[in-house]
Amino acid sequence: MSNTDNGSVAVPAGVQLPIYMDNHATSQLDPRVLEAMLPYFTSKFGNAASRNHSFGWEAEQGVETAREQIARLIGATAKEIIFTSGATESNNLAIKGIAEMYKERGNHIITQVTEHKAVLDTCKRLEKYGYRVTYLPVKADGLIDLDDLKRAMDDKTILVSIMFANNEIGVVQPVAEIGKLCHERNVIFHTDAVQAVGKIPVDVNAMNIDVLSLTAHKLYGPKGVGALYVRRRNPRVQISAQLDGGGHERGMRSGTLNVPGIVGLGAACEIAREEMESEAARLIRLREKLKAKLEGALDYVHVNGSMEHRLPGNLNMSFVYVEGESLLMGINEIAVSSGSACTSATLEPSYVLKALGLGDDVAHSSIRFGLGRFNNEAEVDYVADKLIDIVQKLRELSPLYEMVKEGIDISKIEWQAH
């Protein structure tokens, strides 16, 4: 039996509403990760820093196993992993910690315009303290131009911070080439790899990455725990601590470790390492099906960002001549993100989409689909059918779409601000 929701698209068997398709925002905890964490909430409750009894040793053992699991996933060694509260903290620690440690060497930092706010706002703060920051533009496909990067580097450059994969449009930057350029010039390379770790291969040595941020909750682990990889040799990278205290984590990050969270992060990395290849293949297939269905049924839709250099589970599409808010309301049982960000009272178009050259209206009428481990094909079919239905209905009511169909050049019309 299939029922119908408030619209005219049937909800097939095997599909439960609401559907979660927003895996770049966060992901569902994998039950296997929860299983690994549970003992550390109850019987194994020790402080990993307690050196003189078995409660402490037991907790420390859990933490050290996690360190190894994380290191293995990114080609690092366990000693190079520092635990944090998440990627916001990892990015802050990396950028501020390097800026402070290497200030004698130079004061110039290079990043790019579509970074996460945890990187952009950290760089903005450093500008107030006298650092010089270059924000590289991106091309229409969302990728930086390596020649721009080369030109931006000078003898005062101490750090390049470029994300591995973008959280809105899913594009994967040329990380290995960036790392090579940095190492040739003796510049430290940090990458916010939150969206990449566990989804696509990451190898800190092959890619010349010196410092890397990751977080558990984007790879089916718990919220509030992350890590920073800090290279120990060729070259050895040093970071000034940003929290003062007991000197945990080799002096780089004080504070009693979140043992259950860390064990969960480790377990999530272990699962990702074993299943990444097959999971990526499955998500690409689902993503391509979603894309093909939407493009097959609708005109004036386009993908934002490079399709070639892209995360398996990401699709970001603009549905031109549809009003963004109405579109989201029409699919209110499907959890996705729009090309709008709520800042205080107003709805601002996404700065990432604007950086690709999209106008405000098109940015607002864009949707980010974030497919993940727990999505299935029936959901993809339903989401596609539902979206097609809503877009068609909204366009029937759209004078703009009608004009375009009649061949009127709407770019010549002046619009009133709304």
Ligand X SMILES: *Cc1c(COP(=O)(O)O)cnc(C)c1O
* Number of residues this chain uses to bind ligand X (CB under 6 A): 13
- In the complex, the smallest distance separating the C-beta of residue 216 from ligand X, rounded to whole angstroms, is 8
d(CA 153, CA 283): 37
DSSP code of residue 350: P
What's the rounded Cα separation, in Å, for the pair 335 and 23? 9
Q: Binding residue per annotation — 195? A: yes
Contact of 90 with 213, CB cutoff 8 Å:
yes
153: burial class by Cβ within 10 Å (0-12, 13-18, 19+)? middle
Site for ligand X contains 218 (CB under 6 A): yes
Which residue in the shown chain puts its C-beta closest to ligand X?
86
**Catalytic choice (123, 182, 269, 342):** 342
Closest by CA to 18, choosing from 395, 374, 338, is: 374
Quick check: 310 binds ligand X (CB under 6 A)? no
**Please, what is the minimum distance in Å from the beta carbon of residue 81 to ligand X?**
15
Strand 132-136 and strand 108-112: the pairing is parallel
What part of residues 219-248 is at the interface with ligand X (CB under 6 A)? 226
Is 352 among the residues that bind ligand X (CB under 6 A)? no
Q: Residue length, the chain?
A: 418
CA distance 116 to 125: 14
Q: How far apart are CA 399 and CA 389, in angstroms?
A: 18
Least distance from C-beta 84 to ligand X, angstroms?
8
The Cα 37–Cα 59 span in angstroms is 11
User: Would the annotation count 182 as a binding residue?
Assistant: no
Find the shortest distance in angstroms from Cβ 105 to ligand X. Answer: 26
Nearest CB to ligand X, comparing residues 69 and 215: 215
Comparing C-alpha atoms, which of 269, 211, 200 is closest to residue 235? Answer: 211
Active site residue 342: yes
3 state SS of 49:
coil
Distance CA 155, CA 313 (A): 39
Residue among 124 and 151 whose Cβ is closer to ligand X: 124
Rounded distance between C-alpha atoms, residue 289 and residue 201, angstroms: 23
Q: Taking contact as CB under 6 A, which single stretch among the options 45-53, 85-93, 104-112, 361-369 is the one that binds ligand X?
A: 85-93
Q: How far is the CB of 89 from ligand X (least distance, A)?
A: 7
Establish whether 114 is an annotated binding residue.
no
Q: Compute CA 284 distance to the chain's CA centroid, rounded to the nearest angstrom.
A: 17
Nearer to ligand X, 171 or 391 (CB): 171
Q: Binder to ligand X among 23, 27, 69, 88 (CB under 6 A)? A: 88
Instruction: Give the residue with the Cβ less far from ligand X, 11 or 209.
Output: 209
> Are 59 and 45 within 8 A, CB to CB?
yes
Binding residue (CB under 6 A) for ligand X from 118, 311, 371, 383: 118
87 marked as part of a ligand binding site? yes
Quickly list DSSP for 89-140.
HHHHHHHHHHHHHTTTT--EEEEETTS-HHHHHHHHHHHHTT-EEEEE---T
Contact with ligand X (CB under 6 A) among 46, 62, 86, 313: 86
* Cis amide bond preceding 18, omega within 30: yes
376 labelled ligand-binding: no
Which residues, numbered 162-181, are part of the site for ligand X (CB under 6 A)? Answer: 163, 167
Name the nearest CA neighbour of 317 among 365, 387, 280, 357. 365
Positions in 190-209 near ligand X (CB under 6 A): 192, 194-195
Binding span for ligand X by CB under 6 A among 80-88, 275-283, 378-386, 393-401: 80-88
Q: Which residues are catalytic?
A: 342
Binding site for ligand X (CB under 6 A): 86-88, 116, 118, 163, 167, 192, 194-195, 215, 218, 226
Binding site for [2Fe-2S] cluster, by residue number, is: 342
Binding site, by residue number, is: 87-88, 167, 195, 215-217, 256, 342
